[in-house]
Amino acid sequence: MGNVLSPQVQAQADEYQVKAAFIFNFAKFVEWPGDAFGDGGSLVVGVVGEDPFGGALDRLNGSVANGRRLRIKRLRFGDNLRDCHILFISKSEGKNLGKILDSIKGTSVLTIGEMPQFNQSGGMIRFVIHNSKVRFEINAAAAAQTRLRISSKLLALSKGAS
């Protein structure tokens, strides 16, 4: 097992490629209520604010998770965000975080972010880097206010759960 102190390190990857792969996995381990999907039935992944993923999210466009086709959507503050299933809120939206979260209250949008105050402010999944590896923290209380069902596996792997 690699250790952060060990000079001999693990294979490396781009941070946001790894985070994009996490988002793909979240789509598999979260259950949305049936009425959350429109006619096409696709699962909309929105990015609000500056996109840090490079092309990594776009490469997920069209791929299938739990029988639903992923569709990537770029959004700005002020756009209607309620049609997303997953919403990644970029660090660039720090000032607007409260308003963005307010605007999707009562929906089943899984919110993901990286800002330090993200989960305290009511976000659901926050990425953190620990020992150069990507980890995530789940705000179970925020998720419980929606009709989303987060699998126990995801909860078990989240930081602080073990």
User: Tokens in use for 75?
Assistant: 């959004």
5 or 106, CB closer to other proteins? 5
What is the C-alpha to C-alpha distance for residues 43 and 30, in angstroms, rounded to an integer? 12
CB of 8 to other proteins, least distance (A): 5
First vs last C-alpha separation in the chain: 18
105 or 153, CB closer to other proteins? 153
Which residue is associated with the tokens 């429109």?
38
SS3 category, 162 = coil
Contact 107, 100 (CB under 8 A): no
Note the residues at the interface with other proteins (CB under 8 A).
2-15, 17-18, 20-22, 24-25, 29, 50, 52, 54-56, 59-60, 63, 90-92, 116, 129, 131-135, 153-154, 157
CB of 35 to other proteins, least distance (A): 27
CB of 39 to other proteins, least distance (A): 26
